[in-house]
Amino acid sequence: EIVLTQSPGTLSLSPGERATLSCRASQSVSSNFLAWYQQKPGQAPRLLIYGASSRATGIPDRFSGSGSGTDFTLTINRLEPEDFAVYYCQQYGTSQFTFGPGTKVDIK
């Protein structure tokens, strides 16, 4: 089973700053199998990035994904007030999906 680790656990930033979130896999993951989600309190997760770097429909271009193999990154340029949330990476392998533990981006 591939285990995903996300860092940092919490990221405290101000609006307008850049957020860099890391997702590390215990084994190599195909980029096609790596996705990122945003979840706000009381809401369902929302797909942001799939295929490690492709933005989902309607996602602003301040969100970008990169990486390959075991190291993936979600970058949020110029944080907007609505971006403060929890972010999860997700991978698919051996017929199952797994999520990372999440990174909380909160207001400094």
Partner 1 sequence: QLQLQESGPGLVKPSETLSLTCSVSGGSISGSSYYWGWIRRPPGKGLEWIGNIYHSGNTYYNPSLKSRVTISVDTSKNQFSLKLSSVTAADTAVYYCARHRTYGFYYMDVWGKGTTVTVSS
Residues in contact with partner 1 by CB under 8 A are 1, 32-33, 35, 37, 39, 43-47, 50-51, 54, 56, 88, 90, 92, 95-102
Residue nearer to partner 1 on the CB measure, 17 or 56: 56
> Minimum distance between the CB of residue 35 and partner 1, rounded to whole angstroms?
4
Strand 63-76, strand 54-55: pairing: unpaired
> Minimum distance between the CB of residue 14 and partner 1, rounded to whole angstroms?
25
Residue 34: which of 47, 44, 45, 43 has the closest Cα? 47
Residue 39 CB neighbour total at 10 angstroms: 15
Residue 30: which of 103, 106, 93 has the closest Cα? 93
The two structure tokens encoding residue 93: 């392998």
Residue nearer to partner 1 on the CB measure, 13 or 56: 56
> Minimum distance between the CB of residue 16 and partner 1, rounded to whole angstroms?
28
